[in-house]
Amino acid sequence: MDLGISGKTALVTGASRGIGLAIARNLAAEGVRVVGAARTVTPELEKVAAAAVSLDLSTREGARSVVEQALAAVGGIDFLVNNVGAGDAEDLSLAGFLDVDDEQWQSMFDLNLFSAVWTTKAALPSILERKGAIVNISSISAHVPGGSPVGYAEAKAALTQFGKRLSEELAPRGVRVNTVSPGVVTSPLWTDPDRFGGRVAAAFGVGHGDLLDGLPGRFGISSGRLTEPGEVADLVTFLLSERAASIHGADHVIDGGTLKAA
């Protein structure tokens, strides 16, 4: 299938690993010149990106800077994928509402909501000029908040609503905005024992491998397996393409059947 995006440009945040890296790879394979942004640039990202930028996207200055560097590197932005999110495992408390400090709330919203707000605001003039497209990576936690760190689901719910607002405003101006909400994905967030998955395993007193094996059952995943980053990337790539020209303001859940509501 010809997606008609060869020669376009894209800025992908949180692109060093997991879903973000898979998106960068997919777009590059389709002939898109990708600027990948992450706090730590990996060799894997450097292999596929036209430019790789290292900075902290949880700050307004970082978001503005990444857009400036992307524009300088590729001359303009057709596509924006706001993928950066989650948070540092060592800084996340898995405690309940009363035991989580204000700093966790702030960091969750800065990284999972405001990074997208700030980056979109800076990139939008170029995207409007090119009549491009935006995809925000949210989470099924926006629909089912139980089980995620305090502040994460709330920030992702706000991100999903942000996408709806943007779509209503920008669709008449030729820019499409959509949201993708993955379930549990085999990304380093879960598979790296030093990140969130490892923290969860320790909290439950089980081995990290046992935790991963039990996740499909724990989350009620109908497919019986976790979603692969490449599967999320395929959906994002399609949504950015002209093949999805009539898809506006939608929240696309990709979770192996975790959510049961119609």
Residues assigned a catalytic role: 152
Report the alpha-carbon distance of residue 213 to residue 197 in Å, rounded. 12
Q: Please give the structure tokens belonging to residue 163.
A: 């996408």
Q: Are strands 176-182 and 133-137 parallel, antiparallel or unpaired?
A: parallel
Query: How far does Cα 90 stand from its chain's mean position?
Result: 20
75 dihedral zone (left: phi>0; alpha: psi -120 to 50; beta)? left
Q: What is the DSSP string of 198-261?
A: HHHHHHHT--HHHHHHHHHHHHT-TTSSPBPHHHHHHHHHHHHSGGGTT--S-EEEESSS----
- At residue 238, φ and ψ (nearest 5 deg) are -60, -45
Query: Taking a C-beta distance cutoff of 8 angstroms, is the pair 221, 259 a contact?
Result: no
Nearest 5°: the CA angle 138, 144, 150 is: 80
